[in-house]
Amino acid sequence: MSVQHFLTLIDLSPAELRQLMHRGSELKRDQYAGKIYEPLKHKVLGMVFEKSSTRTRISFETAMIQLGGHAIFLLPGDTQLGRGEPVEDTARVLSRIVDVIMVRTFEHDKIKLFSEYSRVPVINGLTDLAHPCQLLADMQTYFEHRGDIKGKKVAWIGDGNNMCYSYINAARQFDFELTIATPEGYEPSQEHVSQNTDFVTLTHHPEAAAHNADLIVTDVWASMGQETEQKARELAFDHFQVTQELMSLAHKNALFMHCLPAHRGEEVSADVIDGSQSVVWDEAENRLHIQKALLELLLCS
């Protein structure tokens, strides 16, 4: 029997993703109401982190506790993975012991390899190519504030990075129009864009992307692993800050999102991220609720 992994949004069907949105909000209401629901009693999530994290670790760990299970936090430096044990062997061993595995790493090929050797579901907690759990939370947040995102106009402002790639997948799966504004040389790869030209437009002008948008999204200019490029990127992205002026080009009820952590004064001005159109704290909270729905889907169906 093949195992259902969640490495990108394309691993679930549009119908499954929509059902997940509904279930995430239902689990959120139940949690607020103090309802105890423990379908994952005695189940264990192994979490392999090769990059730093606040939200991903805390939300997955809390999700497992609230669902009655347990999570184990693994750093490569503390495991044999850090001393060169092959990914294939680590995947084989971990998946004979735990019930589900979350991996945050650099190369997307590494998590793909891991999943090929895993007997249990593998969840992508961020790679250089994708951050699908964050997109689940972003979509849940949009649905909760504004209803269905189908047919809406979304503007991505900034780097053509892992979050940007996941927005491309989201545009396909949730059927919205995505305009990506990057500096020259920082576009997402042609390979990914060319498969999605029905949903995605590229520009080098943030104003063009923001015009009439229903949602404006940005992310850091230098992602984890690109720290040495910080200065060069600050120069290249100089005109790509999401400011009130840029927000004013969007619909008046447009939302602002950022996966966090954010750098006020770089990719976003303080008055935007701390302003009335920003829903960044809901996005962060929804990581918990939507990942509970995801874990339930992967382990209970």
Given 66, 134, 241, 291, the catalytic residue: 134
Q: What is the footprint of ligand NVA within residues 88-127 (CB under 6 A)?
A: 126
Question: Within 13 Å and on the Cβ side, how many CA atoms surround 90?
Answer: 24
Torsion of CA 186, 189, 190, 191, to 10 degrees: 180
Region of 48-56, 177-185, 195-203, 233-241 interacting with ligand CP (CB under 6 A): 48-56
Q: What stretch of H or E contains 73? A: strand 70-74
Among residues 113, 236, 260, 297, the one that binds ligand CP under rule CB under 6 A: 260
Query: At which residue do the structure tokens 């940007």 appear?
Result: 164
Identify residues 82-101 at the interface with ligand CP (CB under 6 A): none
Q: What residue 90 binds from ligand NVA, ligand CP, none (CB within 5 to 8 A, per partner kind)?
A: none
Q: Is 42 a catalytic residue?
A: no
Interface region with ligand CP, contact rule CB under 6 A, candidates 16-24, 49-57, 225-233, 248-256: 49-57
**What type of residue is 220?**
V
Residue 131 annotated among the catalytic residues of the structure: yes
Shortest Å distance, C-beta 218 to ligand CP: 13
Query: Is residue 134 within 8 Å of residue 287, measured between CB atoms?
Result: yes
Which candidate in 23, 55, 131, 289 is catalytic?
A: 131
Separation CA 280–CA 284 (nearest Å): 6
Nearest to 119, CA basis, from 3, 265, 281, 257: 3
SS3 of residue 189 by DSSP: coil
264 is catalytic: no
Contact 48, 102 (CB under 8 A): yes
How buried is 203 (Cβ within 10 angstroms: 0-12 exposed, 13-18 middle, 19+ buried)? Answer: middle
248 binds ligand CP (CB under 6 A): no
Among 66, 118, 169, 223, binds ligand NVA (CB under 6 A): 223
State the nearest-atom distance from the C-beta of 290 to ligand CP, in Å.
Answer: 12
Kindly tell me which of 223 and 269 has the beta carbon lying closer to ligand CP. Answer: 223
b/e 163-200 (16+ beta carbons within 10 angstroms → b): bbbbbbbbbbbbebbbbbbbbeebbbeeebbeeeeebb
Residue 124 binding partner per list ligand NVA, ligand CP, none, with a CB distance cut-off of 5 to 8 Å that depends on partner kind: none
Sole window of 53-61, 85-93, 147-155, 227-235 interacting with ligand CP (rule: CB under 6 A): 53-61
Q: Is 134 a catalytic residue?
A: yes
Please confirm, yes or no, whether 119 is among the known catalytic residues. Answer: no
Among 50, 187, 214, 219, interactor with ligand NVA by CB under 6 A: 219
Count the site residues for ligand CP by CB under 6 A: 8
Q: Does 53 bind ligand CP (CB under 6 A)?
A: yes
Q: Where are the alpha helices (DSSP H) in the chain?
A: 14-32, 55-66, 87-97, 108-116, 132-146, 162-174, 190-194, 206-210, 230-236, 244-247, 270-273, 280-300
Going edge to edge, which strands form the sheet with 122-124? 70-74, 44-49, 100-104, 122-124
User: In the complex with ligand CP, which residue's Cβ is closer, 137 or 250?
Assistant: 137
29 annotated active-site:
no
Q: Catalytic site residues?
A: 104, 131, 134, 219, 259, 287
Binding residues for ligand CP, rule: CB under 6 A, are 53-56, 126, 134, 259-260
Applying CB under 6 A, which residues contact ligand NVA? 126, 161-163, 219-220, 223-224, 259
